[in-house]
Chain A
């Protein structure tokens, strides 16, 4: 019987028999559907109402002059708020608002006293005198012992701090971290409650600057032990001594700072609260929040810069502090160990074209030197005292070097080189630009090896590349933070460059306390790196951002807490 009936619904098209009853029941059926829709709406409303009882929160506007609150975003949840173990920018940014070390940088980037009111340093011995009025947020005084405890924790092998090396200038720190000496032998001592004495392993003219670094923050021993391994895991698991305290911390969602009434310099702090109400890595989401006047600052990148320009916002820029470069592999079995091949690549490198035509983001500087322009020298800026020549491309010179290199390597035609790079859009753009550049100018084929973060690191460490797109951000405000990067003993010298002359210059800069001697040594490092084409410097990173015009006194900087709202205030509308 079924074989003579209507075609199946799935295959068949309209036929009169179907349409007629459908047309008749239109209104009734529609009413049924409407009812169903109303039920669905009701169910949704009930669920939403229930959820409203379960969750709470919601953030205010970008700035609120009445309550003195600024609302911001974080790119991620702070991974490690324990200052002895933190390594990342987000944690350091929060720590810079809620904690204070012996010294700090003020709004003009001058080093000033924080917990220490005065200090004196000789070549190997530094003494810090703590303020009487320095307090934890609970009101207890901060003592020299709080520093001794925290610093020992940093070098304690059981604590496994990645930044332990930043204390290796202190007497015995390295041996303790290796497990060869007891913690008590660390060269730091509380002479009395308010006097801290530090003995160094070698002269460190910039030791004062190091004490402004978050790893050098104090921790109260009794409190630390009372948290039984949960120190800094939550807002109430920390003692604060900075301008703000963490008043609420919802993991992955928000982190709110409120003014610390017991801060010794509380009169200086004008904001009452900093509400990090959103945590997301999506830069467009942050831009949209900024447009909606929900957050006070958004960083810009190449993708959303045009959007920002159209809004006619005032665009700010500042030096991020880091330098990006192509690291070349100097291992003997690599073609790039050939001096003339490296010089050929260097000769055609055109940082200005990269910055202005490829990256096209304001704020970046075409690279000239491993040492960025903001580093300080003897009296003024290092790069003004020891200028680095501009890298001007010279194709003919490049070809001459290449011919010589091919001759030495016994090759008939230009080789293929492997370029290791990250997987971000900007890394793609840059590596493809260089692939094209080296092919056109030198006929060298570049094979791009694109890897996600951890795999790229693994390949860098293993030396599995000819060229790698790399960068370096400063840890402290002294040329040494860049200067020893290509010393033969440095683990971050991934191209395994070895040059006794460079090692010697670094050693001089390390052991001397005379500013001129040190800067001259760094100038030699700068010259060797250029002369020997150790790396090809691409650019100095600049950051671009827009901020709510009512937020005043915001400080952006290359080294230290960034962005820094401790000096900020809100202008009345």
Chain B
């Protein structure tokens, strides 16, 4: 077990190094210059800028410098937020993205399990059909549509009520978090509902359910102890990757609701060729994802003894 863990962690480090290297050279291959602005500057000013950011050195040398700084935990200073260290940007804004992501995943998980179980219970009857239709909608409609609609809905509700039930945008209080996290969680909830439904139905037809019924157990008990519990397992398995996906994928929702999350830095840095922020966020998110995957594997081995850790 220990050897396996060490091995997986080593593999993770190599993966992260590979991500960093690929991003570094990919980023430098993109045409354009991070220092370029709408207005061109005289050559002497240009030379000063290049020297300040170390861009006057050849790319391989920049790579070595970057890697050695990264090992020291220094991701450098942002090109666009010129007085902020990338470390600070990640620390301050990931906190917000994580808050939003966790709320969204809790909402999605409970919602998905509930709706999934409900559809299985009412299989091929009206509630099932309605919910499955909504699920398809939830999976196929992109989050920026939900975000815009959600915000518009909040405005209309507030106007109708005459007071602010939920804030239209912004961040800081609990009220600010509710609508964005629901919007962010909708897609995942729809996905989990579908997963839960098929998992419930599969188990409904399995041998041990029939055994339990034939033993004469009360139907409610069979449902709760045997069917529901076993059906939740696959849902729990996909939660790990889902958490990573939701925490890193909140860009649109953060934008619409003016939420100071890391997502917008992740996306805008690429558009603005902000080298240090691109590297910092990519390596950070890469490491986060890799860590989540390793964690899920390890936990899976603990939960399910059939998965052998060799």
**Binary per-residue interface labels of chain A (40-55) against chain B in the complex, 1 for a CB within 8 Å, 0 otherwise:** 1101100111011011
Contact residues of A between 378 and 421, Cβ < 8 Å to B: none
Question: Chain A's nearest CB lies how many Å from the CB of B220?
Answer: 3
Q: Which residues of A contact B159 (CB under 8 A)?
A: 291-292
Q: A33 to B32, Cβ gap below 8 A?
A: no
A457 CB-CB contact with B under 8 Å: yes
A51-B177 CB under 8 A given contacts A32-B224, A253-B171, A292-B159: yes
On chain B, the number of residues with a Cβ less than 8 Å from chain A's Cβ atoms is 88
Q: Which of A4-49 contact B (CB under 8 A)?
A: 6, 8-10, 13-14, 18-19, 21-22, 24-26, 28-33, 36-37, 39-41, 43-44, 47-49
Least distance between B273 CB and chain A CB atoms (Å): 5
Q: Are B202 and A458 in contact (CB under 8 A)?
A: no
B273 and A178: CB pair below 8 A? Answer: no
B168 near A51: Cβ-Cβ < 8 Å:
no
Within 8 A of B (CB), among A53-96: 54-59, 73, 77, 79-82, 85, 87
Q: Are the CB atoms of A457 and B223 closer together than 8 Å?
A: no
| B257 shortest CB reach to chain A, Å | 7
Among A10, A58, A280, point to the contact of B258 (Cβ < 8 A).
Answer: A280
B110 at the interface (CB under 8 A from A): yes
**What residues of chain B lie closer than 8 Å to A232, measured between beta carbons?**
83
| Cβ-defined contact, A177 with B44, below 8 A | yes
Find residues 169-192 in chain B having any chain A CB closer than 8 Å to their own CB.
169-178
A278–B177 CB distance below 8 A: no
- The interface residues of chain A lying within 8 Å CB-to-CB of B123 are 14, 18-19, 22
Contact of A28 among B92, B118, B169, B219 (CB under 8 A): B219
**Taking the complex as formed, is B152 at the interface, i.e. its CB lies under 8 A from any CB of chain A?**
yes
Q: Which residues of B contact A6 (CB under 8 A)?
A: 205
Also in contact, A162 and B224, with CB within 8 A (given A43-B110, A288-B168, A289-B169): no
**Which residues from chain B contact A159 at a C-beta distance below 8 Å?**
48
> How far is the CB of B139 from the nearest CB of chain A, in Å?
18
A482 to B37, CA, bound (A): 17
B90 to chain A, nearest CB (A): 12
Q: How far is the CB of A555 from chain B (nearest CB, A)?
A: 24
Contact (Cβ within 8 A) B256 A282: yes
* Closest Cβ–Cβ distance, residue A167 to chain B (whole Å): 11
Of the residues A13, A48, A52, A289, contact of B124 by C-beta under 8 Å: A13
- Whether, in the assembled complex, A454 has its beta carbon less than 8 Å from a beta carbon of chain B, the answer is yes
Closest CB-CB distance, A28 to chain B, in whole Å? Answer: 3
Q: How far is the CB of B192 from chain A (nearest CB, A)?
A: 12
Chain B, residues 118-144, CB within 8 Å of chain A (1/0): the string is 100111100000000000000000000
B223 touches A8 (CB 8 A): no
Please tell me if A118 contacts chain B, counting CB pairs below 8 Å. no
Chain B residues lying within 8 Å of A47, measured Cβ to Cβ, are 102-103, 106
Indicate if A549 sits at the interface (CB-CB under 8 A). Answer: no
User: Which residues of chain A are within 8 angstroms of B38 by Cβ–Cβ distance?
Assistant: 457, 473
A289 to B106, CA, bound (A): 28
Nearest B residue to A73 via CB reads B258
Complex alpha-carbon distance, A40 and B96, angstroms: 22
Contact A25 B220 (CB under 8 A): yes
Q: Which residues of the partner chain B approach A457 to less than 8 Å between Cβ atoms?
A: 32-33, 36-38
Residues of chain B contacted by A289 (CB below 8 angstroms): 168-169, 258
CB of B70 closer than 8 Å to a CB of A: no
With A51-B174, A292-B164, A461-B40 as given contacts, are A282 and B204 in contact (CB-CB < 8 Å)?
Answer: no
Q: Contact at A57–B173, with CB atoms within 8 Å? A: yes
Q: Which of A9, A56, A77 has the most CB of B within 10 A?
A: A9
Min CB distance A176 to B, Å, is 10
Q: Is A281 an interface residue (CB 8 A)?
A: yes
Instruction: Answer whether residue B52 sits at the interface, using C-beta atoms and an 8 A cutoff.
Output: yes
Chain A residues within 8 Å of B173, by CB:
52, 55-58
The CA-CA distance from A183 to B308 in the complex, in Å, is: 70
Binding site secondary structure of chain B: helix
In the complex, whether B246 has a CB less than 8 A from a CB of chain A is no
- Residues of chain A within 8 A (CB-CB) of B51 are 157, 160
Identify the closest chain A residue to B199 (Cβ).
A9
Measured between beta carbons, the chain B residues less than 8 angstroms from A284 are: 148, 151, 256
Q: Are B33 and A59 in contact (CB under 8 A)?
A: no
> Within the assembled complex, what's the spacing in Å between the Cα atoms of A184 and B81?
30
Whether A292 pairs with B223 at a CB distance below 8 angstroms is no
Q: In the complex, which residues of chain A have a beta carbon less than 8 angstroms from the beta carbon of B106?
A: 40, 43-44, 47
Q: Is the CB of A458 within 8 A of B218?
A: no
A43-B110, A452-B271 known; A28 vs B84 contact (CB < 8 Å):
no
Question: Which chain B residues in 141-165 approach chain A with CB under 8 Å?
Answer: 148, 151-152, 154-155, 158-159, 164
- Once the chains are docked, how many angstroms separate the CA of A323 from the CA of B280? 37
Q: Is B31 an interface residue (CB 8 A)?
A: yes
A165 touches B172 (CB 8 A): no
A6 to B40, CA, bound (A): 74
Q: Chain B, 193-209, contact with A by CB distance < 8 Å: what is the 0/1 string? A: 00000100110110000
Does the CB pair B83–A454 fall under 8 Å? no
Tell me if B113 and A58 are in contact (CB < 8 A): no
Q: Is the CB of A9 within 8 A of B34?
A: no
A30-B121 in contact given A36-B110, A285-B256 (Cβ < 8 Å): yes
Query: Contacts A8-B202, A37-B110; is A280 near B169 (CB within 8 Å)?
Result: yes
A39: chain B residues within 8 A (beta carbon): 110
- Contact partner of B174 (CB less than 8 A), chosen from A52, A82, A161, A233, is A52
Partner of A24, one of B92, B110, B176, B219: B219
Which residues of B sit under 8 angstroms from A291, Cβ to Cβ? 155, 159, 168
Interface: A429 (CB within 8 A): no
B111 proximity list for chain A (CB < 8 A): 40
- Bound: A280/B205 CA distance, A: 51
**How far apart sit A141 and B51, CA to CA, in the bound complex (Å)?**
36
Which residue of A9, A57, A81, A178 contacts B201 across the interface (Cβ within 8 Å)? A9
Q: Chain A residues with Cβ under 8 A from B42's Cβ?
A: 165, 168, 491
With the chains together, A158 CA to B228 CA distance in Å? 66
CB distance from A490 to the nearest CB of B (A): 8
Q: Establish whether residues B34 and A164, one from each chain, have CB atoms under 8 Å apart when the complex forms.
A: no
A14 surroundings in chain B (CB, below 8 A): 123-124
Pick from B32, B49, B154 the residue with the most CB of A within 10 Å. B32
B64 on interface, CB distance cutoff 8 Å: no
Whether, in the assembled complex, B99 has its beta carbon less than 8 Å from a beta carbon of chain A, the answer is: yes
Distance between B219 CB and nearest chain A CB, rounded to angstroms: 4
Is the beta-carbon distance between B172 and A58 smaller than 8 angstroms?
A: yes
**Chain A residue at minimal CB-CB distance from B172:** A57
Mark B228-269 against chain A: 1 for CB-CB distance below 8 A, else 0. Answer: 100000000000000000000000000111101000110000
Given contacts A14-B123, A40-B114, A49-B174, 12 further A-B contacts (CB under 8 A): A10-B201, A32-B228, A40-B111, A51-B177, A52-B173, A55-B171, A56-B172, A58-B175, A157-B44, A157-B48, A162-B49, A279-B258
* The 5 nearest A-B residue pairs measured at CB: A57-B172, A40-B110, A28-B220, A454-B32, A9-B201
Q: List 25 A-B contacts (CB under 8 A).
A: A14-B123, A21-B219, A33-B117, A43-B106, A43-B110, A51-B99, A58-B173, A59-B170, A80-B83, A81-B83, A157-B48, A160-B49, A162-B45, A250-B260, A251-B92, A254-B170, A285-B256, A288-B151, A292-B154, A292-B158, A294-B168, A453-B271, A454-B273, A455-B31, A458-B32
